[in-house]
Amino acid sequence: MNSVRVVDVFKKYDNGMLKVNALRDINLTIQSSEFVSIVGTSGSGKSTLLNLIGGLDYPSSGDVFVDDVNFKDMNEEELTIFRRRNIGFIFQDFNLLPLLNVYENIVLPIQLDGKKIDYEFVDQITRQIGIQDKLEFYPNQLSGGQQQRVAIARAIATKPAIILADEPTGNLDSKTSQDVLGLLKMTGKKYKQTIMMITHDETIAQMADRVLRIEDGSLRE
């Protein structure tokens, strides 16, 4: 099964003074359960592509399909539900809720969807990435690296079909980075998840099944 298809996609930004072609004629197919890393210089279009695949933004032209569903065919409510049930996001700026503790942040997406929490799985995740002793802490009591681990645990805990990760190891030391990548690969295989990961680290990138390169908005494999 093709988990993700990007067909003839262009993305342009126009603020009235400056027009930017963020993505140019992107065609991409990612198979179900494939682990793909995306590399490129700052401003090359990596995050824009990830946002389009995650349904957080729309292309100026072209189509994005996730499991054969075209985001253009959904209204905002339908798209929100689809994202929550099928896509796990690991944001570069964490997006943790400050009034919830670590454990509550991790399980919130599961609760919003009315699903049963897999307590054993959540415990396994938090132990493997080293935050099992921080579950009652609040985001402002954590370091940047610890907040990143919470964001990763939250994305994995829902067992989504697709995980989109924007620099998931950017705030982590080398050992924890290896642990996180190992966890992503393990859960990806176990739950047949498709993983797309942006990284500036070539060593991390090479751990994926395939490396995509974006330069000046154009895709090069």
Name the percent of the chain lying above pLDDT 90. 58
Has residue 2 got a pLDDT over 70? no
- One-letter amino acid at 141 equals Q
**What is the per-residue pLDDT for 190?**
82
Using alpha carbons, list the distances in angstroms from residue 152 to 28, 61, 96, 199, 213: 25, 31, 11, 15, 23
Chain segment 50-65, per-residue pLDDT in tens? 999 999 999 999 999 9
Highest mean pLDDT among 20-24, 66-70, 106-110, 199-203: 106-110
Domain count, the chain: 1
Lowest mean pLDDT segment, chosen from 71-75, 79-83, 182-186, 212-216: 182-186
Give this prediction's pTM: 0.88
CA angle centred on 13, ends 88 and 91, rounded to 5°: 20
The two tokens of residue 98 are 């400050």
Positive or negative CA dihedral for 81, 83, 89, 95?
Answer: negative
CA dihedral of 205, 156, 171, 141, whole degrees rounded to 10: 180
**What is the per-residue pLDDT for 221?**
66
Chain segment 111-168, per-residue pLDDT in tens? 998 899 999 999 998 998 889 999 999 999 998 888 988 998 999 999 899 999 998 8
Report whether 174 contacts 207 (CB < 8 A).
no
In the predicted model, what is the mean pLDDT of the chain?
90
d(Cα 221, Cα 219) in Å, to the nearest integer? 7
Report whether 147 contacts 172 (CB < 8 A).
no
The two tokens of residue 125 are 């995740």
Has residue 109 got a pLDDT over 80? yes
Highest mean pLDDT among 56-60, 102-106, 108-112: 102-106
Half-sphere exposure of 26 (CA within 13 A, CB side): 37
Print the domain residue range for 114: 2-220
CA angle centred on 190, ends 186 and 194, rounded to 5°: 80
Give backbone dihedrals phi and psi of 84, rounded to 5 degrees, phi first.
Answer: -60, -35
CATH classification at residue 8: 3.40.50.300
